[in-house]
Structure 1
Amino acid sequence: MNQLDFGFGALEAEFWRLVFVMTRVGAAIVAAPLFGTASVPPQVRVMVAGGFAVLICAWTPVAAPAELLSLAGLVAVAGEVLVGLSLGFVLQLAFAGPVIAAEIIGGGMGMTMATAVDPNSGSQSPALGQYFAVVVTLIFLALGAHLQWFALIIESYRVFPPGETWIGAERLARVPAYATMMFTTAVLIALPVSLVLFVVQIVTGIISRSAPALNLFALGLPAGVLAGIAGLIAAAPVLTDQVTGLITNAIGAVSGLLAP
C-alpha cells in the first residue's frame, strides 16, 4: 500500500490534501527573497505555508493524488515543487539586480573590502549591497508586491492544477528573458554613480600626475568615497524609479509564467 493510512478516514484525507498543497506554496516561499532568507526560522516558513494551504484548500477544489507515495504521486509532488520554485526564483532575480549594481559602485568607490553578511543568502556582500537590499525591500512591501505575488500563487492552482504542472520550455524561457532585464536594470542603477566616480578618478589622476609629491592613495580613496556618497544621494530618485520598475516587471514576469 503506497498511501499511509492512520485510520482517521476523511480527516486523514484532508490532512494529506493539505500537505500536498503546502508543497507548492512551501517551495515558492523557500525560493523567494524575504520569506526564504536564512534569518527566517523554518518553523515560520512551515506555518506561513500551512496558513496559505488552508485558504487554498477552502477556495479551490485541489485534490491530492489517490496514492501520494506511489510513483505517480511523487511525480505530481515534483511538479508542484517545480512550479513553486519557478514562481519564487523570479523574485530572487529582482532582488539580485540592485546587489549587482552595488558591486559595480563599490568597486569604483574602493569599498570592495567593506563587506557584511547578506541576510538573504548568508554569504558576504558589499556594504552598499545591504543599503540597496533595504531599499528594494521597502519598495517591494510599499507597492504591495508581496500580496500580488501570493495572489499569483493561488492563481497558479487554476492555471496549473495538480497533475498538469509541466510549465514547458516556452514558459521557462521567459525566466532568462527577465534575467536579461535584471542585468540591464543593474547597469542603469550603477551608471550615474559610476560616471561620477569615473570623472573623479580622471581628475585624481591628472592631479597626481601634475604633483607627483602627492600620495595618490591618500588622495584618491577619500575622494572616491565622498564622490560615491554624493552620487548615491543625487541618484536616489533614479534608484527608486529603477527598483520600482524592476519589481513591477518581476510581478509581470511571474504573471507571464501563468499566461497561456
Structure 2
Amino acid sequence: MRTPRDKTKICRAGRRDRHRERCIGHVLARPAVLFACLVLHILSAACAGAFNVPETLRYDLVWTGVKAGEATLEVRSDGTGLRITSIANSARWVSFFFKVNDKIESVLRSNPEQLPGRPVAYRVNLSEGRYRRHKEVVFDHETLRAVYIDHIRNERAETDVPSRFFDPLSSFYHLRYMDLKAGRSVHVPVFDNKKVSEVEVLVLRNERVTVPAGSFDTILVKPLMKSEGIFASRGEIYIWLTDDERRIPVRLKIKVRIGSVIANLAGGTY
C-alpha cells in the first residue's frame, strides 16, 4: 500500500516527465520555421555568386546531442522563376508524443534587379502536435499590395508593400548572392507578420566547421531579431555559410530555453 510520501514522489516524477516533454516540444515546435525565421533577416547589395539550381540540402536537427528531426531545403525552377521549399519532420522518438510535419514555400518570379527573384506567393503549412497553421500571402508588384489569408481562422487582410522586399524564406537565398565580409552590418526589408521590416544581419567572422557532409571554410552571420517572430523570444541565432561563391548553409544554431538546436548539413545535391 502506497504511503502519502510515495504518492508525493510519484506526482513529482510525473510532473518532471511532463515538463521534459513540453520542453522538447517547445524546442522542436517549429523546426521548419527555424529555416524560415532564421532567414527572416537577410539583406541586399552587390551580387557575389550564385547557388546551383536545382539544389537540395538535407539537415539533421540535433538537440542536447541527440538527433531530434530532419529538415530539407530545396530550390527548383518552375519556368518563370524559382520555387523554394522548406520541409521539417520530427524523429520517430519525438513523434511518439509530439509529431512535427511542416512545410513552407516561397514562389519567385525572375527579376535581374532583385536576386533570386521577386516573391509572388508565400505559403506556410504547419502541423506540430495539436498546433496547426495554414496561411499564405500573395504579392502584387503592380499595385504594391499584399493579400494575407489565414485558411484556418478564415481571415483575410490586405496591406501595402514597397517595391523591393523579400519573404522570410527567399531572403535567405538572397543572402547567398552577397559579397559578405567580416565586420559588416547589413539590412534587408522582409515581409513578416503582415508588414515589412528592416532587419539587420551581422557578418561576424570566418570559421572552419565539420558537419556530417564534410569540413568547410565558412563565414558566420548573426541575424538580429527586431520584429515579432518565433525566435524573437527564444534566443540568438547563427548561420554558417560556406566561404565561396555558393554560400551553402552548412550549420544553423538557435539558442533555446534548454540548450540549443543545431541543424547540420548531412547531404543533398549542391
TM-score normalised by the chain length of structure 1: 0.23
More strand by share: 2
More helix by share: 1
TM-score normalised by the chain length of structure 2: 0.22
